[in-house]
Chains A and B, each alone.
Chain A
């Protein structure tokens, strides 16, 4: 009975001052709309930039690094155990690039509940032959289905069909840069020279573009078996195992864990791409700082309007108190006022923000580097809308708090006597 009553009084007071209330709410609306627009656009842009690299980067990569052995023979000689041994000019031993026991490792990884996808990979150094010129190149042998499913491979194919890698034997998808240099296109045959000196003809079934010249000018993709053939290796020969996790934050810990279990090198995405994290963070801080500033400005607007309203309504406050409304009830009435302004203004802001972002989403944005993107990227995330409405309620609550405390303290005797 009591809460609806104070609410009803708030409503009536609001409607009696409709214009003022709308102006107050418009401040909040504008603040929240800008917050939604900014945050959706900024994080959309962030995501796009990060995905440019991170989509094609596994969360954990298992491989055998070429490094000199950490235990040299001299350390195993008992006589020299106590002495300080110096060895100059150590070279890495001729260890294989292959991951040992790759089949059981793959099986183990596929059974790990923290892992979403596992894709083995074979990298082979080749030369692309263009007449008398040899171009340096790298063929990645990939598990096509897995790459399409988990590593958004399809987004980067600008011509041809990735599935043809599995269907057509001795097929290859080449980088845009390579294709331009070789003046070749889908359906044509190119010749490559393997590291061992064999010449192989491969059919081009697609062209990809990652937007990074360093990759597009050098790399190409083939099926695992084709690449293993290029290297003259067996079907269990893998140089890399790529792992995608349920939670990217687990990567550093799990990389260490796998390195220990499988006795391989493991690189996690965070240490491989540290700079992306910090860029994202800075952009987020800017977005939130701007939005909070806008909301604080709106909060001052509400504070002013409520203060004015309280001076106007002194008589009403006095009579409400005389007829049995306590200071707390009066406070509630004015806090309600503020929260209604905040809630309505905030909701309108969410809708306006959504309209803005839908509009931005239609603006064309074509760049050669990003074949999959045609308009400005927007990140539609329900969480930002929740944050927006909570923001608006908190700011209006704080803005309404001080005026309402003042209203609650109004002494009816002063007002009634003052007449």
Chain B
């Protein structure tokens, strides 16, 4: 089954040095398989976000080994890691992080254009399809800063999906949303997993949200419990 491992972490340990040396994550190993919907929960400060950033390849200062799609990330250069993120990982953050200067459609298209696998026309088509599924196709040509919080979060999800990544990571994706919007987001995530067999890894402190996922990883004090 190892060929189905989307992400595999072995003995990840991370320290913070400021203001004093402090171990945030202690010897964590985990695997996520294709089509799995996994959530990481825990109290704030337990290191769950830090773990997510390490697994996302954005944070490269840690001990241990990280495999994405069975490839070791440890010796990859910064541009190589950027390429891995572009092609294999989609992000949804608590704060929506859209580019304010661009239209909704352009925001969704940017990672696809960067990937360059499809023509601009095809990417636009795909982006419109995603926006349509997420119910915000009518907002496509608005500037991103004119949307409401729930709408922005759905745009961010569409952007995460544009390159058909193996894995979608979310850092408190519903943290800023009311219960209605967060239910919508949950529905969307469920669909992604069941229809496209993409994996999801969501960091959340919302127990109700976590309960709806396939597997819950609970963290406390930098360790999995």
Contacts and interface: CB of A to CB of B under 8 A. Distances in A.
A145 to B, nearest CB: 68
B79 A315 contact: no
B87 interface: yes
B95 interface: yes
Nearest to A315: B97
Given A5-B113, A412-B58, A413-B53, A324 B102 contact: no
- Which has the most chain B C-beta neighbours within 10 Å: A320, A323, A326, A419? A323
Interface in A155-183: none
Contact of B101 (A1, A13, A321): A13
A9 B85 CA distance: 19
B8 interface: no
B115 interface: yes
A326 B111 contact: no
A117 to B, nearest CB: 62
Contact of A318 (B94, B97, B100, B110): B97
A323 B91 contact: yes
A323 B113 contact: no
B76 to A, nearest CB: 11
A322 B91 contact: yes
Interface string B136-172: 0000000000000000000000010001000000010
A319 B99 contact: yes
Contacts of A325: 82, 86, 114
B85 A324 contact: yes
A416 B101 contact: no
Contacts of B183: none
Contacts of A9: 110
Interface residues on B, range: 20 to 34
B58 A321 contact: yes
A13 B110 CA distance: 14
B115 A324 contact: yes
Interface in B75-133: 78-79, 82-83, 85-87, 91, 93-95, 97-102, 106, 110-111, 113-116
A316 B100 contact: yes
Contact of A323 (B78, B94, B95, B159): B159
A172 B49 CA distance: 100
B65 interface: no
A326 B115 contact: no
Contacts of B53: 413, 416-417
Contacts of B33: none
Contacts of A319: 93, 97-99
B39 interface: no
B4 interface: no
Given A412-B58, A413-B58, A417-B49, A326 B82 contact: yes
A2 interface: yes
Contact of B78 (A15, A320, A327): A327
Contacts of A382: none
B95 A419 contact: yes
A328 B114 CA distance: 13
Which 3 A/B pairs are nearest by Cβ-Cβ distance?
A324-B86, A326-B82, A16-B101
18 contacts: A5-B110, A5-B113, A12-B99, A16-B100, A319-B98, A321-B82, A322-B56, A323-B110, A323-B159, A324-B87, A324-B115, A326-B78, A326-B79, A326-B83, A329-B82, A416-B97, A416-B171, A417-B49
Given A323-B159, A327-B82, A416-B97, 7 more contacts: A5-B113, A12-B101, A15-B101, A318-B97, A324-B111, A327-B78, A419-B94
